[in-house]
Amino acid sequence: MSIYTVASRYAKSLLGLSQEQGNVDAVKADIEQIIAVIQANSQLQTVLKNPIISADKKYAILTALFDGKVNPLILSFFSILVKKGRGDLLLDIAQEFIREYNEAKGIVKATVVSATALSENNLNNLASKIANEINAQVVLTNTVDPSLIGGFVVRIGDRQVDASIAGKLNKLEKFFVNQGV
């Protein structure tokens, strides 16, 4: 079974449990915190992936890190994960949980790459226009790539809209090459 399939099943289970208990938003906030901690700590990632370290030891480490800081449901979930030998997939499962949560709430993540940083007003206007186009709530992040020269590139899932000067110049170059000019 692929990592994605396993992560998706566990994430859906956690999402379903948190929905039943009526604390989905709190669990999501805790999961975001857990993702940040795991990504920032390579030693924790190594411990979780090490098959030699016992499940009890892994759970004790997770409990020491997160007890009293996250919803008890999450700690119970950790217990199940490590006992089933899936501690190595904790980060993947947490990230999949966020994706599942966003899908359930109709939230779409998008990225806009621009030659210079966009103002908060421009980001909000662009997010609003994208939201109207795709009929979903949009969380837009901005990254800067000076090689675009001007304009921007918007990525939503597997779709991309290139409205950059560099992109237009590349299209123009390909046109001339195909025309034999």
pLDDT tens digit sequence for 60-104: 999 999 999 999 999 999 999 999 999 999 999 999 999 999 989
Mean pLDDT of 98-115: 91
Where are the domain boundaries for CATH 1.10.520.20 in the chain?
3-103
**Burial level of 97, CB count in 10 A (0-12/13-18/19+)?**
buried
Joined together, the tokens standing for residue 147 give 């090689």
Bridge partners, 155 (sequence order): 111, 160
Would you state the pLDDT for residue 58? 93
CA-CA distance, 37 to 58, in Å (whole number)? 15
Q: Where in the chain is the domain with CATH 3.40.30?
A: 106-179
| CATH T-level topology, domain 3-103 | Peroxidase; domain 1 (1.10.520)
In this prediction the pTM is 0.75
The CATH architecture that domain 106-179 belongs to is 3-Layer(aba) Sandwich (3.40)
Give the ranges where the chain is alpha helix by DSSP (H): 3-21, 24-40, 42-49, 55-66, 72-83, 90-105, 120-134, 165-179
